[in-house]
């Protein structure tokens, strides 16, 4: 039986808590947008929940796969720096999320239904673009993307639905706060990866 290369095996160092932490952190944008959508829609139906939850989850699952495949093309050339790259990307994404929360990027209100048409596609891309960098980071660490992509997509879909339901009960003030939590979690995971590689843990 031919042994699979490291880039195609699931790395045991990616424990389930770390994976869930990444998934939840990446879903904070989707959750925040879902909160606003739930508050702004005149009526909230099962179709709204399905459309937004399905598309946000799908894009969150696809984006890290795209980033991971891109990372495989350069992995061999930068293996000595992979942990620094992973740390830098996660710290950048986390910092970007903190900056967006500070700027209150989710304040817009629209009379249109954001769970339809072009608005749905644009929101799906915008809330999942950070997952590209995470997928690239995982390829640098030799972690197979398939299990993380599935978990990331499922968590995003579930939290999107939860966010829309909660949006009927909470105010706009919670949107920036959940994004702050997501940014801090990503930065923390980046630090954890760097420390483990530098100390041989």
Number of H helices, E strands in the chain: 7, 0
Condensed to tens digits (0 to 9), the pLDDT of residues 60-97 reads 999 999 989 988 776 656 556 766 776 787 787 777 76
| Residue 23: predicted pLDDT | 93
| Residue 116: predicted pLDDT | 85
Distance CA 145, CA 187 (A): 20
| Residue 184: predicted pLDDT | 79
Contact yes or no for 175/35 (Cβ under 8 A): yes
In the three-class reduction of DSSP (H, G, I as helix; E, B as strand; rest coil), residue 90 is classed as helix
Residues of the chain with pLDDT under 50: 1-13, 105-106, 108-110
DSSP code string of 98-124: HHHHHTTTT----SS-TTSHHHHHHHH
Whether the predicted model's global pTM rises above the 0.75 cut: no
Distance CA 200, CA 168 (A): 47
| Residue 119: predicted pLDDT | 81
Distance CA 65, CA 81 (A): 21
Distance CA 52, CA 58 (A): 10
| Residue 24: predicted pLDDT | 93
User: Largest Cα–Cα distance of the chain, in whole Å?
Assistant: 59
Distance CA 146, CA 10 (A): 8
Q: How many CB atoms lie within 10 A of CB 181?
A: 16
Contact yes or no for 190/87 (Cβ under 8 A): yes
In the three-class reduction of DSSP (H, G, I as helix; E, B as strand; rest coil), residue 9 is classed as coil
| Residue 99: predicted pLDDT | 78
Q: Which long-range contacts (CB under 8 A, 24 or more apart) does 10-13 make?
A: 10/143, 10/144, 10/146, 10/147, 11/141, 11/142, 11/143, 11/144, 13/141, 13/143, 13/196
Distance CA 115, CA 148 (A): 26
| Residue 122: predicted pLDDT | 85
């Amino acid at each position: 039986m031919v042994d699979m290369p490291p880039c195609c095996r699931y790395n045991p160092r990616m424990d389930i808590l770390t994976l869930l932490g990444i998934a939840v952190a990446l879903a904070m944008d989707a959750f925040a947008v879902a909160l606003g959508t739930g508050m702004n829609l005149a009526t909230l139906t099962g179709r709204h929940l399905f459309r937004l939850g399905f598309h946000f989850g799908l894009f969150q699952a696809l984006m890290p796969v795209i980033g991971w495949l891109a990372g495989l093309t350069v992995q061999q050339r930068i293996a000595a720096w992979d942990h620094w790259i992973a740390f830098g990307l996660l710290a950048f994404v986390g910092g970007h999320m903190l900056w967006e929360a500070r700027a209150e990027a989710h304040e817009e209100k629209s009379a249109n239904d954001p769970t339809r048409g072009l608005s749905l596609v644009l929101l799906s891309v915008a809330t999942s673009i950070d997952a590209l960098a995470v997928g690239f980071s995982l390829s640098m660490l030799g972690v197979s993307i398939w299990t993380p992509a599935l978990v990331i997509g499922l968590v995003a879909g579930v939290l999107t639905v939860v966010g829309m339901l909660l949006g009927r009960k909470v105010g706009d003030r919670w949107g920036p706060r959940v994004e702050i939590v997501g940014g801090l979690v990503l930065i923390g995971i980046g630090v954890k990866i760097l420390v483990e590689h530098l100390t041989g843990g």
